[in-house]
Amino acid sequence: MIRSTASSGSSQQQGIAAIVGVGPKLGRSIAGKFAHEGYTVAILARDLGRLSRLAEEIASEEKAQVFAIRIDCSDSKSVRDAFETVLSLGFVEVLVYNANYQPPNPTSFQSLPLETFQNSLAVSTVGAFHCAQQVIPSMVERGKGTILFTGCSASLNGIAGYSQLCCGKFALRGLAQCLAREFQPQGVHIAHVIIDGVVGLPRRKSLIVAERSGGGEDGTLDPDALAQTYWQLHVQDKNAWTQEMDLRNSSSTFRFF
């Protein structure tokens, strides 16, 4: 575990926000948003070196405590070990499961290795199962908590060449629905967020890149805007909880994956 901290001079009021699957786009923006709102944030991913740099950036920008913790979501022991560290920090009030296993190119079913198919299921769904099991008991005990699962258009539609992604994301959606029906009556808000598009750089960074290159809007989704929606789901009144939300760029005319 690597800790990055920048004191804001205020005492911690909230619990821990654990963000699983943090890269430089959506995961980083979600972590930054919860840090900005006063949470101590644990960010988890496989690459601890990159993760520690992101933790330092977030801590510096938001004047927050950010912990970088390595996790391999395809390995149940790694998940247990990682969350033993997370839970040692305090009560996990928010879990965002953003991990994804997606090869860069489509693969015909006949050429798809079994290992690739199994790894996608392990990361997309089995890892989510393990992570949720680590935090739900204390959420139920306290009668509060939020679990947000990140899906995509492949959560809803089968896509030729992406059997591994679709099956993993279909199963994650089913898990989210089952957990919502079981635990929302006990005070735990569980929602599934469908990202219908390609996530780009935050607008504040992409504008700089566009200015340098002479480019303009590229139709991608702004991760900072998405992160704001994740925050809104967390703070929703329990009398009007969302179980599933579909997000896309206003200029989108078809589904991405």
Question: Per residue in 85-128, pLDDT tens?
Answer: 999 999 999 999 999 887 778 999 999 999 999 999 999 999 99
Question: Per residue in 65-80, pLDDT tens?
Answer: 999 999 999 999 999 9
Rounded CA-CA distance 15/38 in Å is 9
Chain-centroid distance, C-alpha 46: 14
Rounded CA-CA distance 242/190 in Å is 8
pLDDT at res. 215:
39
Burial 224-239 (b: 16+ CB within 10 A, else e): bebbebbbebbeeeee
Q: Is 227 helix (H, G, I), strand (E, B) or coil?
A: helix
Average pLDDT over the chain, rounded to whole?
90
Q: pLDDT band at residue 212, thresholds of 50, 70 and 90?
A: very low
pLDDT at 213 over 50: no
Which class for 57: exposed (0-12), middle (13-18), buried (19 or more C-beta within 10 A)?
Answer: middle
Phi-psi label, residue 32: left if phi above 0, alpha if psi -120 to 50, beta otherwise: alpha
pTM for this one?
Answer: 0.90
The contacts of residue 242 (CB under 8 Å, 6+ apart) are 191, 233, 236
pLDDT at 8 over 50: no
All structural domains of the chain, each given as residue ranges with its CATH number in brackets, are 2-247 (3.40.50.720)
pLDDT at res. 203:
78
Count other C-beta atoms under 10 Å from residue 45's C-beta: 23
Lookup: tokens for 256? 């991405």
